[in-house]
Amino acid sequence: MLIMGWDGTEVTPQIRNLIENHHLGSIILTAKNLKSAEQTASLVQELQTIAHQAGHPQPLLIALDQENGGVNSLFDEDYICQFPSAMGVAATGSTELAYSVAKATATEVSAVGVNLILGPVLDVLTNARHQPLGVRATGDDPQEASQFCIAAINGFKDAGVATCGKHFPSYGNIDFLGSSLDMPIITQTLEELSLSALVPFRNAISAGRLDAMFVGGVGIQSAGMNVMHACLSDQVVDDLLRNELGFKGVAISECLEMQSLIQEYGVKGGTVMAVEAGNDLVLLCRAHDVQLEAISGLKLGVENGIISKERIHTSLKRVLKMKSACTSWQKALNPPGLSLLSKIHPSHLALSRKAYDQSITVVRDKDNLLPLSQSLLQEEELLLLTPLVKPLPASAATKSILEKGTKGHPSLHERWIHQERGAIMSGEGVFRELGRSIARIRNGKLLHTSYTANGLRPVHENLINRASAIIIVTADANRNMYQTGFTKHVAMMCHMLRGTGQKKSLIVVAVSSPYDFAMDKSIGTYVCTFDFTETAMASLVRALYGEITPQGSMPGTMRKSKKVSKTRQQWLVENYDRERDGVALEELLRTLARSSTPSLPYLTTTAQSFELFNPHVEEAHFVVRNSSTKTLYGFVATYFTKGVGAIGALFVDPTKRNVSIGRSLHRRAMRALLQKQGPKTLQLGLTFPGVFPGVPVDESGSNKSWFDNVGWDTQFPKRLTNMIIDDLGAWTAPEGLLQSIQRASISFDLIHGLDNAESVLNHVATHAGPEVVELYRFALQETNTSGVVRAKNSVDNLLGTVIICTAASRLSTYIPALHSIHGEDIGGIIAPIVPSTAQSRLILQGLAFMGVRQNKAHKSAKSVLSWVLDEAYEPLTAMGFEVQQTFDEITNSPENWSDLN
């Protein structure tokens, strides 16, 4: 139940003792343990061998911070690749790239024996300009953060490592209120957190692939909660994380070696409180005496009856389940090491360069100063002004300084930036290679000096007078205010000199937080790199000199606001062509799956899911595509049958949203439906095919509001809910259900084929839409794999119907909820049609019961019920069904759309 670390690059007697004699099963490695990839692989292998020989039932959990950008614990320029920070990746706008970067990172650390990545960062920068997390977070938009974080989680998991989201409940808007205990505080209410900060946490948990959650050490002071340390509070861990958000994985506490915690509770008391709160692993970073004290506290907690054995067993089960998913003795004792790393290094280097090149963002270039090769003559002077900053942990500069034995002492803010792993001063050495790279392009003609909190000095003024162009680098200027003052002073000086006819071009480059001068229009040319690793600086030079065209954009709300001016752009919409577009549509669906929660059906949808080839249904589908690359940017599917026109699906590549592709597709789809003969109803969502039975219901309501904005009246939707029994083998019928059905004289039979189906089809046509009739017709024709259960009363009148199908049914092509991800058989209970009567609740339960019984008889592992209307899901929850997905079917009159004719 403890996760511990130590200082040093070799196994010490103390860490050996913890593994052998105290059964320590989880280790955290930091930059202080790691010199190179080869040494790391050897170190981890030795740790695992000690555990194996000590009789541990499962390998050690080996955890590592490897967030990329400025937060990497493992650096080896020969074997481990540098990738952009979370915000840098978000600046590319590509969740596909986020997935690839995460998978590459996890593959590399897995090769040296790491099996748990402490990431991704799920925090939302709700106060973006002044937060120490900075570029470690994706940005300030909760939905965008969710998309990129889920893509990263999928990348980590597909590389075989466990994932740990952080920092719950949020480090995205913390205040340092000057407490003597140096404890950052969240002052937002739970309601405010729920609307923003908690959204990515909720979505990542819903996605189902998050193994662990790192619970922070922040305080919470708000009307609904007053907590000194989040990780020690059952209100945060058990109530909020587990009960409200539904997290079932491993909860890991913040390090209990914090001075504030030691002073308040002591390590023994803190350890017991952390376990009581609901944490499964309690983190103690490096001090051996403190670690032994925590072990003693845990034992005392059990002896005193504060911690029950059941509580310990619950945590152990969670940890062992995570271990079994990410490691084995065969894997742990034989890490592939350099043999694998040397093979994948070239492709990962190419991915690194691509990611950095695509992340470089030109926020403004008012006077067209870029590229410098066109705006600055070779004989003109260029001045580079750089601040004194600490080198990033994952850098050659840090490695060099560490080898010389230089040490530093971090401030409180710096500890929150990255847990003491970067507090080393080297001054202008950080940007020396940037200067050299620019000088090489200019044949040595570059002026380069640093600036400090001492402000503009005579040396700076002399160099500015000499130069025709000035590049100023800033790094978190909002928290290093001297940089803001210096930059504005230089900008004013350049403006005055330009007034005298001198050429004084000014370019400001923010190499950490993009918010330094994002809103300051007086800085005419403003470029962002999102970190100042050597790789990022190399991409910056390529962007400054026109080798690449910068494609990045400000992440989050600033990206959206920048695109507002483009929202009426008209895109060329073409008819979908199966032969031309089928493969591209499959690729678009895969991209959407990687950046969406499983509550959206992309993972189990194929290009075939949208094409019915039904003589009773007219279908027309449209795409926005890049005719040169054959890539699809968006897709819309439309259907028309017996006066009902429906949009059955509409989706856009996540990297191409907010530029009016969806609007263009929607307009084309509506025009196609309105041109049909005699449309009586227009609707969003369709049950056959049932990819989207309606608009997916999301917490924020953003899906529905988008359709509001394009003209739909969404006030009175019909709610459709998909439900599931996850473990059909363990399911039993509710007590008394059969007796109630018998007392009500309700009987059931199962029919196949169309010969005896007239009464069924008439029943469905009376009580549901024409597309549901076609769904029933399709199911009845599949005589070997599906059929219809009828509910009848004592005089043989039809009371209700439902489709039952096996895993082999072709219905799974058109209803993604029936399609298995992991290969298990899923039985279907589809479209129950039960008119509203006094008995309708019991009839529905009876039909569902018959469906479950049929699914069990066909050896299905799960039962999916797709769908029930409005509140009808409630009696089914009493039968053991759980809500899987929820949609709102929206219908409007064609008269609402007369302006499109």
Q: Is 121 exposed, middle or buried (0-12, 13-18, 19+ CB in 10 A)?
A: buried
Dist. CA 294–CA 301, nearest whole Å: 10
Q: Which of 463, 471, 513 is nearest to 491 (CA)?
A: 471
Q: Tell me whether the omega of the peptide bond preceding residue 120 falls within 30 degrees of 0, making it cis.
A: yes
The C-alpha angle 765, 767, 770, rounded to 5 degrees, equals: 40
Q: Which helix (H) or strand (E) holds 339?
A: helix 337-359
Which of 301, 300, 361 minimizes the C-alpha distance to 511? 361
Q: Are 143 and 702 in contact (CB under 8 A)?
A: yes
Q: What is the pLDDT of residue 130?
A: 61
* Interacting residues of 748 by C-beta distance below 8 A, sequence separation 6+: 789, 790, 791, 792, 846, 847, 850
Structure tokens at 472: 């100023």
What is the rounded distance in angstroms from the CA atom of residue 82 to the CA atom of residue 77? 8
Residue 286's pLDDT is 84
pLDDT of residue 596: 77
Residue written as tokens 């390529």?
542
Question: What is the rounded distance in angstroms from the CA atom of residue 60 to the CA atom of residue 41?
Answer: 14
Q: Which amino acid is at 745?
A: S
- What confidence score (pLDDT) does residue 195 get? 81
Question: In the sheet where 174-175 sits, what is the strand order?
Answer: 174-175, 185-186, 219-222, 225-227
Q: Specify the pLDDT at position 421.
A: 31
Contacts 24+ apart (CB under 8 A), 808-811: 808/784, 809/779, 809/782, 809/785, 810/778, 810/782, 810/785, 811/778, 811/779, 811/782, 811/786
Mention every residue, 6+ apart, whose C-beta is less than 8 A from residue 62. 27, 29, 44, 47, 48, 113, 114, 115, 116
Q: Quick check: 235 and 164 in contact, CB under 8 A?
A: no
pLDDT of residue 593: 87
Residue 362 tokens, joined: 């030109």
Are residues 673 and 683 in contact, defined by beta-carbon separation less than 8 angstroms? no
Give the number of residues written for the chain: 901
Q: Is the pTM of this model over 0.75?
A: yes
User: Structure tokens of 763?
Assistant: 């029943």
149: CB partners within 8 A, 6+ apart? 120, 121, 122, 138, 165, 200, 203, 204
Predicted local confidence at residue 188, as pLDDT: 82
How much is the pLDDT for 901?
Answer: 45
pLDDT along the chain (901 residues), means of 10: 95 97 96 95 97 97 94 92 96 94 98 97 80 88 92 96 96 66 76 87 91 93 81 94 94 88 85 96 93 94 94 96 96 96 97 97 95 94 92 60 48 38 44 93 92 94 96 93 96 95 96 93 96 94 96 82 54 96 95 80 93 96 94 97 96 86 96 93 96 88 87 93 94 92 94 93 96 97 96 95 96 92 90 95 97 95 95 92 94 80 45
Looking at residue 801, its pLDDT comes to: 98
